[in-house]
């Protein structure tokens, strides 16, 4: 049921998709886009004036960690505050990572994640599934998950030795299963074995400050793991999605694979495009705010990432949202950088940062922007054309965006619970004004009007190859 209107007309806006930019009205009925055209009749409709504004498809963030346990604590933002913040930031669908444990029935893990989201999420959501082990029983369960839960993407950690990391045998077998059953394998690509050695060595030498988190995870180890994952993908004739690409080393491996026609895709995040390793040197332990994995890199890598986005070698912008308070959570690592909970608060600013730093500064086109923050993720993760575009028959997930307004990012004004912003004091151009999910306002004129639990779980289709 729709609380006020079953029909809406978004009028006089500039519609922007991954392929086109044009002036049009958008007619919505029962949460679905029914008609797009000029001067559409408004009788019986709630009229939403978008004059002077862009109308974007709702953002899709395929990389979030809400209400996730890590390092003896739990992310401070859950499916309540996390999805409210996402909505204010122009995101209407997230895909969160469901963690599993060895020996645990997979459906039990999925049930836990449904329990985290049910009654809280204000936008739509799906799950990726972490693979922690592979055997005949797990393989059978994974096939069932594809068919019955609509979970068609599986995450492999090549890092975090002793906790999340799995061996190459598990990765290869997962790739083979994915090829046979139409799933997409995602990798966190870092060489966890060598990182573990470098971390122990640094701590033995009394090197405990946050900067050593970056120095013990050098980018060569991300490049090596990315190349290794690509090699196994080629052997398995499968498909691979490399999450949170941070550096030129990994970027080069992905570009080379794609030049040979391999089904390899890459994601990066705003933090790697706009922040650099020097942030971890901030005094008074402030550098801990910027501890996540892979770590921030030396600034020169940013040009490689922007070029990768512009040329299409990287396809998706995720947030890797994984927020821990500085006070009481990040501080767990005082005196030992290895105990700092890994992750940062990005979900709310992903959309605006990419518009401001990408489109407004001429690094990417406005259509590339839409592709990166919405359409490519929808295609890769089995949501398109239900989501990720503005088309007749698609869900009416829309962002009415003012491209002229300027604002300053701050923890004092964001909608996450976390007590700091990774982009504190940065001025951005452009801001979502109103956000609709399936035709209903969640944010209207910069005010939250959504309802807890109104977000729906989305079952996704099997992987289909795309360039």
Tell me the per-residue pLDDT of 7-32, one tens digit each, with 9 for 90 and over. 999 999 999 999 999 999 999 999 99
Could you tell me if 56 and 370 are in contact, meaning their C-beta atoms sit under 8 angstroms apart? yes
Report the pLDDT value the prediction gives residue 1, as an integer from 0 to 100: 32
> Per-residue b/e over 318-346, b at no fewer than 16 CB within 10 Å?
bbbbbbbbeeebbbbbeeebbebbbbbbb
Instruction: Assign 442 a pLDDT band (cuts: 50, 70, 90).
Output: very high
Establish whether the linkage from the previous residue to 385 is cis, with ω within 30° of 0. Answer: yes
Tokens for 291, please give them: 């501890």
Segment 103-109 mean pLDDT: 95
Instruction: Assign 5 a pLDDT band (cuts: 50, 70, 90).
Output: low
**CA–CA dist 234, 447 (Å, integer):** 48
Is residue 192 scored above 60 in pLDDT?
yes
The model's pTM = 0.97
Q: Cα dist. 374→76, 107, 138, 368, 380 in Å? A: 25, 28, 31, 10, 10
Q: Cα dist. 422→127, 170, 312, 378, 418 in Å? A: 25, 34, 27, 27, 10
Instruction: Assign 466 a pLDDT band (cuts: 50, 70, 90).
Output: confident
- Domain definitions of the chain by residue range: 58-380
Mean pLDDT estimate for the chain: 97
- Give bridge partners of residue 264 from the DSSP assignment: 240
Centroid of chain to Cα 69: 18
Is residue 402 scored above 90 in pLDDT?
yes
Instruction: Assign 284 a pLDDT band (cuts: 50, 70, 90).
Output: very high
Report the pLDDT value the prediction gives residue 287, as an integer from 0 to 100: 98
Residues with Cβ within 8 Å of residue 467, at least 6 apart in sequence:
312
Report the pLDDT value the prediction gives residue 371, as an integer from 0 to 100: 98
Could you tell me if 145 and 138 are in contact, meaning their C-beta atoms sit under 8 angstroms apart? no
**CA–CA dist 64, 62 (Å, integer):** 7
Tokens for 364, please give them: 């990417």
End-to-end CA distance of the chain: 38
pLDDT digit string, tens, across residues 52-89: 999 999 999 999 999 999 989 999 999 999 999 999 99
Q: Taking the C-alpha atoms of 433, 438, 439 and 440 in order, what is their torsion angle to the nearest 10 degrees?
A: -70
Domain 58-380 = CATH 1.10.150.120: no
Segment 382-387 mean pLDDT: 98
Share of the chain above pLDDT 90, in %: 98
**CA–CA dist 82, 121 (Å, integer):** 8
Report the pLDDT value the prediction gives residue 47, as an integer from 0 to 100: 97
Instruction: Assign 324 a pLDDT band (cuts: 50, 70, 90).
Output: very high
- Give bridge partners of residue 429 from the DSSP assignment: 406
**CA–CA dist 83, 29 (Å, integer):** 24
**CA–CA dist 265, 250 (Å, integer):** 12
């Amino acid at each position: 049921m729709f609380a006020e209107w079953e029909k809406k007309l978004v009028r006089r806006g500039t519609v922007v998709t991954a392929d086109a930019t044009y002036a049009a009205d958008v007619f919505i009925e029962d949460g679905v886009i029914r008609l797009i055209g000029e001067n559409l009749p408004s009788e019986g409709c709630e009229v939403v004036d978008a004059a002077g504004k862009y109308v974007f498809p709702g953002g899709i963030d395929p990389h979030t960690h809400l209400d996730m346990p890590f390092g003896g604590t739990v992310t401070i933002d859950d499916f309540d505050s996390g999805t409210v913040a996402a909505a204010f930031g122009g995101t209407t669908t997230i895909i969160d990572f469901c963690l599993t444990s060895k020996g645990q029935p997979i459906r039990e893990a999925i049930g836990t994640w449904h329990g985290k989201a049910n009654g809280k999420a204000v936008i739509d959501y799906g799950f990726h599934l972490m693979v922690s082990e592979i055997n005949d029983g797990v393989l059978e369960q994974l096939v069932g998950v594809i068919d019955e839960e609509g979970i068609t993407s599986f995450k492999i950690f090549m890092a975090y030795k002793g906790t999340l990391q799995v061996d190459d045998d598990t990765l290869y077998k997962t790739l083979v299963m994915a090829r046979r059953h139409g799933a997409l394998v995602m990798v966190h690509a870092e060489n966890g074995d060598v990182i573990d050695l470098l971390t122990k060595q640094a701590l033995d030498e009394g090197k405990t400050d946050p900067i050593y988190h970056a120095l013990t995870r050098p980018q060569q180890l991300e490049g090596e793991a990315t190349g290794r994952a690509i090699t196994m993908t080629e052997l398995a004739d499968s498909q691979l999605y490399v999450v949170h690409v941070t550096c030129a080393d990994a970027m080069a491996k992905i570009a080379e694979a794609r030049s040979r026609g391999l089904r390899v895709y890459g994601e990066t995040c705003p933090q790697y495009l706009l922040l650099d390793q020097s942030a971890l040197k901030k005094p008074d332990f402030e550098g801990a705010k910027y501890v996540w994995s892979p770590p921030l890199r030396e600034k020169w890598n940013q040009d490689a990432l922007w070029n990768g986005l512009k040329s299409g070698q990287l396809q998706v912008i995720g947030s890797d949202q994984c927020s821990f308070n500085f006070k009481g959570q990040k501080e767990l690592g005082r005196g030992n950088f290895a105990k700092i909970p890994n992750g940062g608060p990005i979900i709310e600013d992903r959309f605006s940062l990419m518009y401001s730093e990408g489109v407004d500064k001429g690094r990417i086109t406005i259509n590339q922007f839409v592709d990166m923050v919405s359409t490519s993720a929808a295609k890769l993760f089995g949501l398109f054309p239900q989501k990720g575009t503005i088309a007749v028959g698609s869900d009416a997930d829309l962002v009415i965006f003012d491209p002229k307004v300027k604002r300053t990012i701050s923890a004092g004004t964001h909608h996450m619970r976390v007590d700091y912003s990774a982009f504190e004091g940065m001025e951005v151009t452009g801001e979502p004004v109103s956000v609709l999910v399936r035709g209903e306002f969640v944010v209207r004129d910069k005010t939250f009007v959504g309802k807890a639990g109104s977000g729906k779980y989305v079952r996704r289709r099997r992987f289909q190859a795309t360039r």
